[in-house]
A and B are shown apart, each in its own frame.
Chain A
Amino acid sequence: DQQVKQNSPSLSVQEGRISILNCDYTNSMFDYFLWYKKYPAEGPTFLISISSIKDKNEDGRFTVFLNKSAKHLSLHIVPSQPGDSAVYFCAASRTTDSWGKFQFGAGTQVVVTP
């Protein structure tokens, strides 16, 4: 039973425009969320995180939004660059009792075109 879902397997966006990646979760006890970026033949690398006490976190071109009532988070990349072409995973955990055991979504492949 997948508790974290990324319903868009792929996204194509023009260079300079905004990329919006979505992630839904079913477990209302999740309180810590991460986004990872993955290039082919490499491991995922941490991008940005947000805890449930916030609804927004920014880091440069990357912003994560959390809507707890909708059990939804999104990652905005502005402006998109060719180097952003990668697979993006969202992950969630219950820090109170799940001991760092993150649930991952299936990923969204982003392609940034010139």
Chain B
Amino acid sequence: NAGVTQTPKFQVLKTGQSMTLQCAQDMNHNSMYWYRQDPGMGLRLIYYSASEGTTDKGEVPNGYNVSRLNKREFSLRLESAAPSQTSVYFCASSEIRDQPQHFGDGTRLSIL
């Protein structure tokens, strides 16, 4: 019972490089989310997907794009990485909106 799986777990990039963070859930959940967590701050929503085929901006979407590939997978792309995007990224899913979300174990991303 894997739940929410994120890959990779760690990544170091140089400024200007691009990268896609992968997320997959096996709980048949409709809604998926991407958050970032920075020191001294709570999780901040980057993008979310209410259901397959839909995506919407969250609180901090600048510099990111997302793709809801199918019901299981929701990827986050950094087109041109910047040091300010150094963070821990969490993917989450929920059966429907306003239900408690299930989180992956995170991707620790450093941009030099």
Contacts and interface: CB of A to CB of B under 8 A. Distances in A.
Is B a genuine binding partner of A?
yes
Nearest to B99: A100
Interface string A17-37: 000000000000000101010
A61 interface: no
Contacts of B103: 36, 43-45
Q: Give the interface size bracket for B toward A.
A: 20 to 34
Interface of B: 4, 31, 35, 40-45, 48, 50, 56, 58-59, 90, 92, 94, 96-106
Which 8 residue pairs across A and B have the least CB separation, nearest first?
A: A43-B103, A104-B42, A100-B97, A46-B100, A104-B43, A95-B98, A100-B98, A44-B103
Interface of A: 2, 4, 9, 32, 34, 36, 41-46, 49, 89, 91, 93, 95, 99-107
Given A99-B48, A100-B98, 17 more contacts: A9-B40, A36-B103, A43-B105, A43-B106, A44-B103, A45-B103, A46-B102, A91-B42, A93-B98, A99-B50, A99-B97, A100-B94, A100-B96, A101-B48, A101-B58, A104-B42, A106-B42
